Amino acid sequence: MVLKHSVRIILVVLSVVVMAGVGLVVKAQLIPKSFGLYGPYRADAIDEEGQRVLRHGTNGSCFRCHQYEATIHLKGEHKTISCEFCHGTYSDHVSNGRKMANLPVKKGTEITTLCLRCHNTEIKARSTMVIKTVGMPDHLKKQNVKLTHTCNQCHHVHAPLKYINEAKKITGLMEKRP
Amino acid sequence: MKIENSSKDMSKSDDFSASTNKNRQSSPNLKEISSRFIDPSPDMDKRDFIKKVLNGAIAGSLFLVFPMSTPGGGNFEKNSTLKDGVSTFDPTIELPEEIPGIRDQNYDIHKHNFAFIVDITRCIGCGSCCVADKREYNVPDGNYRTWVERYVKDFDDQVYVDCPNGGLDGYQKPRDDIPIGTRDTFFVPKLCNMCKEAPCVQVCPVGATFLSPDGFVLVDSDRCVGCAYCIQACPYSVRFIHPVTKTVEKCTWCYHRVRRGLLPACVEVCPTGARKFGSLNDENSEVYKILKGPGVLTVLKQSMGTLPALYYMGQRLEVV
């Protein structure tokens, strides 16, 4: 009986050790390596998120090649506007430092639609301190041009007042502001 | 308060709709059919011969064409970082640094601290931030990582909020369904608040969402089981389940751009400077000066005690 009892204890201890061992192995397998480095989460996920592929560049990255456009764009009122908003993302145009595809250039009424996204007075929510807005048919009537005119027939899209200032310089006329 | 979400069709140029896999499924069947059809034909040798000749001709003509087109045209060649015909990608030259102090030294994750400030008085509701965000992450239609709301208040103090297509198409028309004259209209950009006491982190049962030591609430899509508990917990409704991966996605303040020393995509494209982002370690950054200065800054749903790192300037009472 005594012997049987000790065997029983050994069996119990052995089974506990085996179960604990199996548990520890399974735990080591299931828990990711970097888990718990900064907290109860996988720390490698931070670097993985940081290595996501870029799609937008900056205006500076566009101007590296498009120097002529840069000279106009940076002098005008539109200098804060991102190239990529109108033309498309950098990664659709450049891959590994080389041009891979052309980006679309907006034309005709597309330009007017794009301009009015910001410059529409009717929305009545745009501070005059921030942006100059126009009511669309009224502005064309006021300037004595056809109603079919698109914005870029008078305004350079990169520097809106470029042609207007040049015209004023040539004619010597100064527009009266109300 | 009345909230409307009328969904409009997106403009054709910004078509991000997921491609159907119908074509892929049909192609193996076609191959089988065509091979069955061709095999028993007696003219196999002749066909093979013609195929080979044609392939050779095409390959030969391509060799003539390729060397002419590779150098590239215009002033692009001058600035490209080409060495011996192998392109060497140098991100520091291609992408000028915008947040100083990140690229120079080894990034110490415990020492960095960032802040995001939205200036409501400068937002014109153009929606370029929403478009940039959709393009940067290929956000599926109907889900938004960031969006711009329009608040309209009439003379009876009734507040109307709308957000057609998350502001992706901009705001082209004024609201015409308000009977009394409008007293005040303004736009409010919304994005992840990066709470220091984030409810979404507390409720995640698998540790898939967390607050990183540099202050970003991120999602580990490998661990996420898509239970959507965090979507219910988030007081700002910035989370959604991605329809393809079935895991949760949210605004990350463009963590991948910040780690490369670039501004988030929405800040990058904002034409009026309504969105400001910067490092609090850099004393010359605009964000540091605003936070140090006397201006009034508020956070959304302060009573929730979530301690957001996203501050609003010129915030109005009506905004929730």
* B171 contacts A125? CB cut-off 8 A: yes
Please tell me the predicted confidence (pLDDT) of residue B283.
Answer: 92
The answer to whether B135 contacts A118, with C-beta atoms less than 8 Å apart, is no
Is B202 an 8 Å CB contact of chain A?
no
Q: Per residue in A56-106, pLDDT tens?
A: 999 999 998 999 999 999 999 999 999 999 999 999 999 888 889 999 899
Cα–Cα distance, A1 to B290 (Å, whole number): 83
Instruction: Examine the pLDDT at A172 and tell me if it is beyond 80.
Output: no
CB contact under 8 A, B89 and A97: yes
Please tell me whether residues A121 and A170 are part of one structural domain.
Answer: yes
Token pair 């007017």 is found at A112
Q: Which of residues 100-139 of B touch A (CB under 8 A)?
A: 109, 121-122, 124-128, 131-132, 135-137
Burial of A62 (0-12, 13-18, 19+ CB in 10 A): buried
Mark whether A143 and A88 lie in a shared domain.
Answer: no
Residue A83 falls within a domain, yes or no?
yes
Q: In terms of domains, do A142 and A160 share one?
A: yes
Task: Mark whether A153 and A172 lie in a shared domain.
Answer: yes
Q: What is the CA radius of gyration of chain B?
A: 26
Find which of B110, B204, B212 to mutate to test the A interface (most A CBs within 10 Å of its CB). B212
Please indicate, yes or no, if residue A14 is contained in any of the structural domains: no
* Inter-chain CB proximity B259 and A50 less than 8 Å: yes
* CB–CB contact B271 A81 (8 Å): yes
Residue A122: its chain B contacts at CB < 8 A? Answer: 173-174
- What pLDDT is attached to residue A71? 94
Cβ-nearest to A96 among B87, B222, B269: B87
Residues B194 and B216: their CA atoms lie apart, in Å, by 6
User: Residue B42: how many CB atoms within 10 A of its CB?
Assistant: 6
Q: Which residue has the higher pLDDT, A23 or B60?
A: A23
Say if the Cβ atoms of A131 and B124 lie within 8 Å: yes
Query: CB count, 10 Å around CB of B154?
Result: 17
Interface touch A56/B268, C-beta < 8 Å: yes
Under the banding of pLDDT at 50, 70 and 90, the label for residue A127 is confident
SS (H, E, C) chain B: CEEECCCCCCCHHHCCCCCCCHHHHHHHHHHHHHHHHHCCCCCHHHHHHHHHHHHHHHHHHHHHHHHHHCCCCCCHHHHCCEECCEECCCHHHHCCCCCCCCCCCCCCCCCCCEEEEEEHHHCCCCCHHHHHHHHHHCCCCCCCCCEEEEEEEECCCCEEEECHHHHCCCCCCCCCCCCCCEEEEEEEEECCCCCCCCHHHHHCCCCCEEECCCCCEEECCCCCCCCCHHHHHCCCCCCEECCCCCCEECCCCCHHHHCCCCCCHHHHHCCCCCEEEEECCCCCCHHHHHHHCCCCEECCCHHHCCCCCEEEECCCCCCC
Both A100 and A111 in one domain: the answer is: no
Domain identity same for A129 and A82: no
Q: Indicate whether A137 belongs to any domain.
A: yes
A111 and A172 co-located in one domain: yes
Do the Cβ atoms of A124 and B269 come within 8 Å?
no
Identify whether A36 is part of a domain. Answer: no
The nearest CA of chain A is from the CA of B138 a distance in Å of 10
What pLDDT does residue B7 have?
A: 43
| Residues A121 and A85 placed together within one structural domain of the fold | no
Inter-chain touch A42–B127, beta carbons under 8 Å: no
Q: How far apart are CA B99 and CA B90, in angstroms?
A: 18
Q: What is the rounded CA–CA span in Å between residue B77 and residue B96?
A: 19
Domain total in chain A: 2
| Phi and psi torsions of B66, nearest 5° | -60, -50
Kindly state the tokens that stand for B255: 């963590």
In this complex, is the C-beta atom of B80 within 8 Å of any C-beta atom belonging to chain A? Answer: yes
Beta-carbon contacts of residue B265 (< 8 Å; ≥ 6 apart): A55, A56, B129, B132, B133, B135, B136, B254, B257
Q: In whole angstroms, what is the distance from residue B45 CA to residue A142 CA?
A: 76
Mean pLDDT of chain A: 90
Whether residues A118 and B124 touch (CB distance < 8 A) is answered with yes
pLDDT tens-digit profile, chain B (320 residues)? 444 444 444 444 444 444 434 444 444 455 555 455 555 455 567 788 788 888 877 776 766 555 444 333 333 333 334 333 333 345 556 788 899 888 877 889 999 999 999 999 999 999 999 999 999 999 999 999 999 999 999 999 899 999 999 999 999 888 888 888 888 899 999 999 999 999 999 999 999 999 999 999 999 999 999 999 999 999 999 999 999 999 999 999 999 999 999 999 999 999 999 999 999 999 999 999 999 999 899 999 999 999 999 999 999 888 98
Q: Which residues of A touch B182 (CB under 8 A)?
A: 124
Q: Tell me whether residue A178 is in a domain.
A: yes
- Which pLDDT score is estimated for B78? 37
Phi and psi based region of residue A41 (left: phi greater than 0; alpha: psi -120 to 50; beta: remaining): beta
Are A158 and A176 found together in one domain?
Answer: yes
- Exposure of A143 in the CB half-sphere (CA atoms within 13 A): 18
- Residue among A57, A110, A124 minimizing CB distance to B95: A57
Of A43, A72, A104, the position where a domain reaches its end is A104
Q: Could you tell me if residue A6 is inside a domain?
A: no
Across the A:B interface, residue pairs with CB atoms under 8 Å apart total 163
Q: What is the pLDDT of residue B131?
A: 96
Residue A27 lies in a domain: no
Question: Are residues B269 and A56, on separate chains, in Cβ contact within 8 Å?
Answer: yes
Which among B16, B254, B87, B76 is positioned nearest to A95, based on CA atoms? B87
Same domain? A63 vs A123: no
Residues of A in contact with B216 (CB under 8 A): 46
Closest CB to A61 among B95, B209, B220: B95
Mean pLDDT across the stretch A117-137? 90
- In Å, how far is B68's CA from the nearest CA of chain A? 15
Does residue A58 lie in a domain region? yes
HSE-CB for B59 with a 13 A CA cutoff: 6
DSSP annotation of A32 reads -
**CATH code for the domain of A79:** 1.10.287
> Is B6's Cβ below 8 Å from some Cβ in A?
no
Residue pair B117/B297 in contact (Cβ under 8 Å)? The answer is yes
Question: Does A110 lie in the same domain as A96?
Answer: no
Instruction: Give me the domain span that covers residue A81.
Output: 53-104
What does the pLDDT look like over A35-54, one tens digit per residue? 999 999 999 999 999 999 99
Subunit contact A65:B75, Cβ cutoff 8 A: yes
Search chain B and give the residue with CA nearest A38: B213
Q: Are residues A88 and A110 in the same domain?
A: no
